[in-house]
Structure 1
Amino acid sequence: MATERDYYEILSIERTASGEEIKRSYRKMAMKYHPDRNQGNEEAEIKFKEAAEAYEVLSDEEKRRLYDQYGHAGLKGRAGHDFGHMDPNDIFSMFGDIFGGAFGGGRRGGGARGNRPTRGYDLETVTEITLEEVLSGTDKEIEFTRQDNCETCSGSGAKPGSEPVSCVTCGGVGQVKQSGLGGMFQVVTTCPACQGQGKVVKDKCGDCSGKGRVLKDRKVGVKIPAGVHDGQAVRLSGEGEPGSNGGPRGDLHVVIRVKGHELFARDDDDLVLKMPISFAQAALGAKVDAATLEGEVEVEIKKGSQHGDVVKVHGMGLPDLRSGRRGDLLVVLLLEVPKKLSDKQEELLRAYAETEDHDVLPHSKGFWDKMKEYLGA
């Protein structure tokens, strides 16, 4: 295929991405664009193969180094795969370790791929929680749609009373051989007629149009643990799509998104609260009530505190996901200068300024005072 698109752009990752980030992004894209889920969509198949090519390069330390230094030109002449002419299932066979069997893959001599039990697709959905729910943990009801076996044909795709028949193109083995370089060698590829299943449906089931699967809505409860971070996922085993030939279901991955909070920011397991204080409180010290996710807590502002100083309240942050140990509340002091002063307040501040020997603006004069001075009255 030899795409000239930037490999990092294809996988939607930064150039500094770690190997695990590269793998995770490729897995997500491959699941999204696999032709089995986008039947007849040529654009999806192109994106699927582009992602495979990008992953092959960026997951290889030497190829990635050459690509980072010289771009596509650095890979010219190096051995690689022509993903543009490969069957999608064969691509999954190459990277089967990433998917944990979720898409089949992996060759076994002689038998049709469809004759082996294969694990079903994993699915991914998103749910949103609050910081308060991060603190305590929560239970959510998740609604999603998945492919399920058609009840009418029990997933075979064949009209009730009929059965799939052996594929005449591959003789039921699911693979075909093609000669290359004038017959010097043979290439084994997935049978295009039966997509590697070894069987084809002649009399199609009317409810699923011969696919054996139908879309179904499903609700399921998920327990979200306390301390979870934005972007982490909870895996629900066996809630994905059904496998083939008696293979197990895939899993459902529930990705957690944590809503922003009007008062608090999160720093790992610590909570950050920006709290305005007055000049007098900063200079003289004070005890004030600060908000937490559980109410209020008294915070001591030390005498002589400066703008940006941090007061730490131990154990009032969020729990660690594994140990349960709570982080801290970090109260950032923001010195707030009043925009308006009463006469008494201004008088006191001017008296204080004189003791500091700092220049300040003089008293402002009213309009009529200025008029009198101007007229010499």
Structure 2
Amino acid sequence: MTAGSVLAPPTGRAYGGRGATTPARPVEGEVLKLYVDSTSLSLLRQVADFVACADREDVFKVATWLRLPLTAEQMGGRNAHFVPQTAAVSGDFVDVVGRLVQARRFERIEIHANQHHAGKSVVPLLRELCLLVPDARERISLDLYDDGNIGLLEREVLKRQRDPERQVAAAANDLRRAVLARQPLLWGIAQSYAWQHLFPTRYHLLRRDILLRDEPGRRLHAYLEPYAADMSFDGLPDLSPQQVEHYLGLFGLDGEQVAGLAELAADDSALLFTATGAWDDEFDARLAASQIEAIAALRADGTIPAGTRLAFKGHPANLANHAAIAAALGDDVVHVPARAPLELFAVLGLLPRRYGGVVSSAQFTIPADRLQFLLTDRTAVSGGPDAPLLDLMLESGLVSPHQVVPVLVPMTLT
């Protein structure tokens, strides 16, 4: 399959480009699935959904994943196309989608996207689709996935509003104006939870049970219940062995790597260090230097005991400084592939029993008893940028105060 084969005009159907006067005939049962994400956590479910239908001739797939760039050969299935991105959605991606929708009248169109970034991804797609699909409400549905920690914090903000349901309903009008009237988008937390007022929507939420700890949270939990699904990490969905192999291959994992990680996971003394990074080269270098300094302190005070077998999981944002961070850990460090989400390895049982590192979604997806230490910046315990997330972890019992090591140098992107 060539990269553009999915865009070829279907045999026997009119195709005249945008503005064509002869519409494509309806094709009963054909589905178009669009996958959009610039982060990594929700890739687990998006990629699994793609693999589950990769070989189906009646399902067309178009993906753009910033942290999982793929070739046409890697996509591997029928009617599949990948569009590179440097932001949430490119003009090329919207153009590919528009040409496909004009070529074939899909019975259903599914958009799978990051909820937090939906203003930059879902809105441009819906603007295009609503021009081309007369009965858009009946044929388009949304699957929106938590970005990670941001979603947890945003729900904490939303639940404290005077009337969250009313705010969300009002925010739906902003989405309608942006999508249907192509007006500038007013975007905020309420708008990100208002999509169900426009299209059938399913929110895939990380640890929504945390809302149940207080009355405002319970009310928001009940409001979201009809539209929500748990973003779980207790195993892969129903994939055949061949599909699992395809799934792992898309993340760059082969049998040898899996066997090596499985052997490491069986070692009760092993410890995984999770790092962070940034797309900006200068900022990434400063983050790396701070983590290297922190590792030296952890070794000096015995938090990382001498002789511990160590693994390293870098952040996919920037690979340039991974070698230096790993070298600070020691000479015999096992590298966990950086571009695959950490949760993937947890799902597969390929992580060491113990882990420690920087603040991340891992604290909400990996059992709390496995965390050995949590690196935060030195202001996190006194109102710094990481304080709201750290407070939520402490309140929810996911992290204990004695596990918090505030040693990283506070910094912001300049």
Both structures adopt the same fold (TM-score exceeding 0.5): no
Q: Whose helix proportion is higher, 1 or 2?
A: 2
Provide TM-score, normalisation by structure 1: 0.22
Taking structure 2 as the reference length, the TM-score comes to 0.21
Larger Rg: 1
Higher-strand-fraction structure: 1
